């Protein structure tokens, strides 16, 4: 019974190598089919993301493909020289492989600690392999356990709760603390930067519907309005748009603030004390920082958000030891279960071997005592069952204890010889 | 069995729940939420049993008293309703830390009831019983509403302060959004004004009934009446002003206004607890109400009432 992972990741392999080994989604079917042809009886799951390409392999009995063989498989599929890639591949076996899988699924092996996409990618990889009959009992067990462990890490640690990108922090950590809902709010986008687009995507996910775009270039504003499903307003209506807005994302390339404090005072008077959330993502800043001192105005610059992201990264890192402890604990529990499963056939034979004489003796005893009523017969039957279970308990416990260290081959052999168990 | 239910039972439960709520600031635990709700539920059951016993002993079982009409019971009932509101919020918003703000208020109400409130029930007067119930219930609910508004106002100011200082919201002490808190603030102001209005109107009816029957009644210049009217005036002014001037319904202003309303409530409650008043009965002996009350042996008059 073996389990192995061979692959490369962002930890020690450059993107130049990773992108040559990566599998596009439409290549996965072919790759899994080729895997099954190349390595019969070897279960395989292919995990390919922008940060890693990994092949998880498992086999009930017999040798598992070596790193060179897996490297050869990857090289053949991508039609590259195996010598170029094999040195970049890492390999982990059994418990280390399980720990690696659990760490990946729980996102503690990711480039951005705690990023949420990896679990979905692990699930997709497992599902794809299961649909192509490339998995078997061992990898089913391992991947289902990995998904469970990832959920446990997410529940018991705060590793996923902290956002680490500027747009996600802006929306989840600040905008959501101000507004309960976004579908009735007016979002104003000033400029047309990429960061604004990404922030808008997060706001859309939260339910934002009413988007207004203002740009110095009216044509550009109209284009963005179509693209972002909003409406464009001319630049000279900027102050009116600010008076109407609840959330503002500003990303112009202006050399000096486009809204000074004096200008904002007039806008503020029209707003009737409604809270205003301003994300000033421009450098240099679009809004005079003094505007943030006005009541009911919550103004955040890129630096403010970066500081919050950095703070979140530190807090995520603090959660790492707890997440690692969970992964270690679950890995060793998984291995114990896996090794214990290997003892299943011997346990079954042992039970069957004791069951047969028990049944014979019970039948003989009951034949000799025909005067017993049904209740007495049932009592005797239960007593025999208890006796067998008590006699079997010590050897089964010993097997379970030994399974913590690996498949207990010595003990299994001894049991087989002592009780004359046959395959 | 009910005789063994003591105030300590539910105070201890609420205290443990508060400690558990505060412990969220220091460490995470998967079981804490369930334990917290368990303690609050257990406390609430004991609290209910205590009030039931009090109603049986001082009201329904006694000849002259109205059930749960004493100032002590009234404060305990307010705390009981506040606990229900907290339980609802804790169930539906389990990640938000309402308990940090609401449970201390519950404990304050119980402490006020324990330390200063008069445990003697109001006299039973059949002609005005319905109006008495309406009067007591509406003022009770207004008090609870203003307590909720006060907690929401504090949470608003804390949340706004955090957001202004650009601190990432603490995972350990999660608060609702400003918009949610502002809505709660506005609604509690309106609801408390309506409830106090019902309370004042039913109080006037009670007075008129007493005058019609030539029964001694609470004078118009009683400190409790004046305190309540001042609070009502403030709430009414606020609601009228807010209807015509929108900014007063927005942002920090509404939070500050709920805090100010709470101040009026505290003054009215202080009148009830510490000032010599004829409200709810007649203090013929003219003694000051400020005293420590032993609940196991509450002071009683031969008639069971206060007059």
What is the C-alpha separation between A152 and A129, in angstroms, rounded? 24
Contact residues for B140 (Cβ-Cβ < 8 A; gap 6+): B74, B77, B78, B81
User: For residues B125, B284, B233 and B249, what is the CA-based torsion angle, rounded to 10 degrees?
Assistant: -80
Q: Mutation test of the interface with chain A: which of B167, B168, B182, choosing the one with the most A Cβ atoms within 10 A?
A: B168
- The whole-number pLDDT of residue A256 equals 86
Residues, chain B, total?
307
Contact residues for A22 (Cβ-Cβ < 8 A; gap 6+): A48, A50, A53
Using the Cβ of B171 and the Cβ atoms of chain A, whether some distance falls under 8 Å is answered with: yes
Fold agreement between A2-161 and A166-308: no
Least Cα distance to A264 among A281, A282, A278 occurs for A278
Average pLDDT rounded to a whole number, residues A145-170: 86
Contact residues for A236 (Cβ-Cβ < 8 A; gap 6+): none
- DSSP assignment of chain B equals -GGG--HHHHHHHHHHHHHHHHHTTT---SSHHHHHHHHHHHHHHHHHHHHHHHIIIIIISSSSBPTT-SHHHHHHHHHHHHHHHHHHHHHHSTTS-THHHHHHHHHHHHHHHHHT---PPPBP-GGGHHHHHHHHHHHHHHHHHHHHHHHHHHHHHHHHHHHHTTPPPPSSS----HHHHHHHHHHHHHHHHHHHHHHHHHHHHHHHHHHHTT-----TT-HHHHHHHHHHHHHHHHHHHHHH-GGGGSHHHHHHHHHHHHHHHHHHHHHHHHS---TTS--TT---------TTS----TTSS--
- The whole-number pLDDT of residue A397 equals 84
Residues B140 and B22 occupy one common structural domain:
no
Percent of chain A exceeding pLDDT 90 equals 44
Where does a domain end: B73, B95, B116?
B116
pLDDT at A71 over 60: yes
What is the C-alpha separation between B55 and B26, in angstroms, rounded? 41
Residue B246: which pLDDT band, with cuts at 50, 70 and 90?
A: confident
User: CB–CB of B75/B112 below 8 Å?
Assistant: yes
Residue B293, in any domain of the structure: no
- The whole-number pLDDT of residue B125 equals 61
Using the Cβ of A294 and the Cβ atoms of chain B, whether some distance falls under 8 Å is answered with: no
CATH architecture designation of domain A2-161: 2-Layer Sandwich (3.30)
Residue B297, in any domain of the structure: no
Using the Cβ of A296 and the Cβ atoms of chain B, whether some distance falls under 8 Å is answered with: yes
How are beta strands A210-214 and A231-233 bridged, if at all? parallel
pLDDT at B212 over 80: no
Cite the active site residues of A: 50
Residues B148 and B233 occupy one common structural domain:
yes
User: For residues A15, A198, B177 and A286, what is the CA-based torsion angle, rounded to 10 degrees?
Assistant: 120
Least confident of A137-141, A354-358, A405-409, B6-10: A405-409
pLDDT at B11 over 90: yes
pLDDT at B126 over 60: no
Percent of chain A exceeding pLDDT 70 equals 100
Min Cα distance A187 → chain B (Å) is 16
Tokens 């600690």 sit on residue: A113
Least Cα distance to A276 among A216, A190, A187, A152 occurs for A187
- Which of the 8 DSSP states describes residue A345? H
Residue B258: which pLDDT band, with cuts at 50, 70 and 90?
A: confident
Among chain B residues, the shortest Cα distance to A153 is held by B30
Residue B285: which pLDDT band, with cuts at 50, 70 and 90?
A: very low
Where does a domain end: B116, B145, B162?
B116
Residues B138 and B243 occupy one common structural domain:
yes
Min Cα distance A292 → chain B (Å) is 8
B65: containing domain:
1-116
Residues, chain A, total?
423
More confident residue, B248 or A318: A318
- The whole-number pLDDT of residue B65 equals 59
More confident residue, B45 or B74: B45
Q: In this predicted model, what pLDDT tens digit does every residue of A48-64 receive, in sequence order?
A: 988 899 999 999 888 89
More confident residue, B145 or A24: B145
* Fold of domain A166-308: Rossmann fold (3.40.50)
More confident residue, A191 or B30: A191
More confident residue, B165 or A164: B165
Q: Over chain A, what is the mean pLDDT?
A: 88
Binary contact (A174, B163; C-beta < 8 A): yes
Q: Kind and range of the H or E element at A247?
A: strand A247-251
Tokens 């002993």 sit on residue: B57
More confident residue, B291 or A161: A161
Residues B46 and B111 occupy one common structural domain:
yes
User: CB–CB of A330/A98 below 8 Å?
Assistant: no
Residues B57 and B180 occupy one common structural domain:
no
pLDDT at A204 over 80: yes
Residues B201 and B139 occupy one common structural domain:
yes
Q: In this predicted model, what pLDDT tens digit does every residue of A226-265 receive, in sequence order?
A: 888 889 999 999 999 999 999 999 988 888 889 999 999 9
Residue B1, in any domain of the structure: yes
More confident residue, A421 or A33: A33
- In the structure encoding, which two tokens stand for residue A313, read together? 């990264």
- The whole-number pLDDT of residue B287 equals 41
Using the Cβ of B170 and the Cβ atoms of chain A, whether some distance falls under 8 Å is answered with: no
- The whole-number pLDDT of residue B292 equals 36
Average pLDDT rounded to a whole number, residues B218-235: 83
- The whole-number pLDDT of residue A298 equals 93
- The whole-number pLDDT of residue B28 equals 72
Residues B45 and B129 occupy one common structural domain:
no
Chain B residues closer than 8 Å to A296 by CB: 250-252
Average pLDDT rounded to a whole number, residues A167-171: 85
Average pLDDT rounded to a whole number, residues A407-419: 82
Residues B50 and B170 occupy one common structural domain:
no
CB-nearest to A295 from B175, B246, B251 is B251
Using the Cβ of A358 and the Cβ atoms of chain B, whether some distance falls under 8 Å is answered with: no
Residues B17 and B101 occupy one common structural domain:
yes
Residue B294: which pLDDT band, with cuts at 50, 70 and 90?
A: very low
- The whole-number pLDDT of residue A117 equals 82
Percent of chain B exceeding pLDDT 70 equals 80
Using the Cβ of A235 and the Cβ atoms of chain B, whether some distance falls under 8 Å is answered with: no
Average pLDDT rounded to a whole number, residues A390-409: 81
Residues B9 and B49 occupy one common structural domain:
yes
pLDDT at B70 over 90: no
Residue B286, in any domain of the structure: no
Residues B67 and B11 occupy one common structural domain:
yes
Min Cα distance B268 → chain A (Å) is 31
Chain B 234-273, residues with CB within 8 Å of chain A CB atoms: 246-248, 250-253
Helix axes A137-156, A117-131, angle to 10 degrees: 160
Using the Cβ of A304 and the Cβ atoms of chain B, whether some distance falls under 8 Å is answered with: yes
Residue B282: which pLDDT band, with cuts at 50, 70 and 90?
A: very low
pLDDT at A74 over 90: yes
- The whole-number pLDDT of residue B195 equals 93
pLDDT at B300 over 50: no
Among chain A residues, the shortest Cα distance to B172 is held by A158
Query: A223: how many CB neighbours lie within 10 A of its CB?
Result: 15
CB-nearest to A298 from B163, B169, B176 is B163
Least confident of A299-308, A318-327, B8-17: A299-308
Q: Mutation test of the interface with chain A: which of B27, B95, B166, B175, choosing the one with the most A Cβ atoms within 10 A?
A: B166
Residues B129 and B273 occupy one common structural domain:
yes
Using the Cβ of B30 and the Cβ atoms of chain A, whether some distance falls under 8 Å is answered with: yes
Chain A residues closer than 8 Å to B166 by CB: 300, 304, 307-308
Residue B304, in any domain of the structure: no
**Residue ranges of domains in chain A:** 2-161, 166-308, 341-418
Does the complex come out with an ipTM higher than 0.85?
Answer: no
Average pLDDT rounded to a whole number, residues A161-170: 81
Binary contact (A311, B247; C-beta < 8 A): no
Binary contact (B251, A177; C-beta < 8 A): no
- The whole-number pLDDT of residue A155 equals 86
Binary contact (A304, B169; C-beta < 8 A): no
Residue B109, in any domain of the structure: yes
pLDDT at A323 over 60: yes
Binary contact (A179, B179; C-beta < 8 A): yes
Among chain A residues, the shortest Cα distance to B29 is held by A156
User: CB–CB of B202/B119 below 8 Å?
Assistant: no
Size of interface A-B (CB pairs under 8 A): 66
More confident residue, B35 or A416: B35
pLDDT at A398 over 90: no
How many domains does the structure of chain B reveal? 2
Contact residues for B44 (Cβ-Cβ < 8 A; gap 6+): B10, B13, B80, B83, B84, B87
pLDDT at A186 over 90: yes
């Amino acid at each position: 019974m073996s389990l192995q992972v061979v692959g490369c990741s962002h930890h020690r392999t450059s993107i130049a190598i990773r992108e040559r080994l990566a599998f596009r989604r439409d290549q996965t079917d072919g790759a899994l089919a080729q895997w099954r042809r190349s390595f019969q009886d070897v279960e395989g799951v292919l995990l390919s993301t922008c940060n890693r390409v990994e092949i998880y392999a498992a086999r009930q009995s017999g040798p598992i493909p070596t790193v060179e063989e897996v490297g050869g498989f990857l090289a053949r599929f991508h039609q590259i020289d195996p010598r170029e890639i094999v040195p970049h591949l890492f390999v982990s076996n059994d418990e280390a492989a399980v720990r690696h899988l659990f760490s990946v699924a729980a996102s503690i092996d990711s480039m951005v600690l705690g990023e949420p996409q990896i679990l979905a990618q692990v699930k997709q990889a497992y599902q794809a392999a299961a649909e192509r009959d490339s998995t078997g009992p061992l990898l089913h067990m391992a991947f289902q356990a990995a998904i469970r462990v990832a959920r446990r890490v997410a529940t018991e640690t705060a590793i996923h709760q902290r956002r680490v990108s500027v747009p996600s922090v802006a929306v989840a950590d600040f905008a959501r603390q101000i507004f309960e809902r976004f579908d009735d709010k007016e979002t104003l986008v000033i400029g047309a930067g990429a960061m604004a687009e990404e922030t808008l995507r997060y706001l859309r996910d939260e339910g934002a519907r009413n988007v207004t775009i203002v740009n110095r270039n009216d044509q550009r504003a109209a284009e963005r309005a179509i693209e972002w499903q909003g409406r464009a307003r001319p630049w000279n209506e900027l102050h009116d748009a600010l008076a109407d807005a609840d959330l503002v994302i500003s990303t112009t390339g202006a050399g000096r603030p486009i809204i000074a404090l004096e200008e904002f005072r007039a806008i503020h008077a029209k707003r009737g004390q409604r809270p205003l959330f301003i994300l000033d993502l421009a450098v240099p800043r679009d809004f005079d920082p003094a505007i943030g001192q006005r009541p009911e105005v919550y103004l955040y610059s890129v630096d403010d958000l970066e500081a919050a992201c950095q703070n979140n990264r530190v807090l995520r890192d603090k959660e790492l030891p707890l997440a690692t402890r969970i992964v270690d604990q679950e890995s060793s529990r998984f291995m114990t279960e896996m090794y214990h499963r290997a003892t299943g056939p011997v346990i079954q034979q042992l039970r069957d071997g004791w069951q047969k004489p028990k049944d014979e003796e019970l039948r003989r005893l009951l034949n000799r005592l025909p005067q017993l009523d049904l209740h007495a017969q049932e009592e005797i039957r239960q007593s025999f069952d208890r006796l067998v279970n008590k006699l079997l308990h010590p050897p089964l416990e010993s097997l379970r204890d030994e399974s913590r260290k690996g498949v207990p081959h010595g003990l299994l052999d001894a049991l087989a010889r002592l009780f004359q168990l046959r395959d | 069995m009910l005789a063994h239910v003591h105030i300590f039972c539910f105070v201890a439960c609420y205290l443990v729940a508060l400690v558990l709520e505060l412990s969220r600031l220091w460490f995470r635990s998967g079981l804490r939420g369930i334990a917290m709700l368990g303690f609050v539920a257990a406390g609430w059951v004991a609290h209910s049993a205590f009030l039931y016993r009090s109603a049986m002993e001082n009201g329904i079982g006694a000849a002259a008293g109205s059930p749960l009409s004493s100032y002590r019971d009234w404060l305990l009932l307010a705390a009981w309703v506040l606990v229900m509101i907290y339980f609802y919020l804790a169930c539906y918003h389990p990640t938000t830390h309402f308990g940090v703000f609401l449970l201390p208020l519950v404990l304050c109400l119980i402490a006020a009831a324990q330390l200063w409130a008069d445990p003697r029930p109001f006299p039973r007067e059949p002609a005005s019983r319905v109006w008495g119930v309406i009067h007591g219930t509406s003022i009770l609910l207004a008090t609870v509403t203003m307590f909720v508004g006060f907690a929401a106002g504090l949470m608003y100011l804390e949340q706004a302060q955090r957001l202004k200082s650009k601190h990432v919201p603490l995972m350990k002490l999660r608060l609702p959004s400003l918009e949610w808190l502002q809505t709660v603030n506005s609604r509690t102001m309106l609801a408390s004004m309506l409830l106090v209005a019902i309370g004042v109107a039913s109080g006037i009816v009670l007075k008129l009934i007493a005058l019609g029957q030539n029964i001694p009644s609470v004078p118009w210049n009683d400190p409790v009446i004046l305190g309540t009217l001042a609070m009502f005036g403030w709430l009414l002014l606020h609601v009228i002003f807010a209807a015509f001037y929108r900014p007063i319904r927005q942002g920090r202003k509404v939070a500050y206004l709920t805090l100010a309303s709470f101040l009026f409530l505290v003054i009215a409650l202080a009148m009830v607890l510490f000032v010599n008043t004829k409200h709810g009965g007649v203090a013929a002996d003219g003694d000051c109400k400020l005293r420590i009350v032993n609940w196991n042996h509450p002071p009683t008059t031969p008639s069971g009432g206060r007059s």
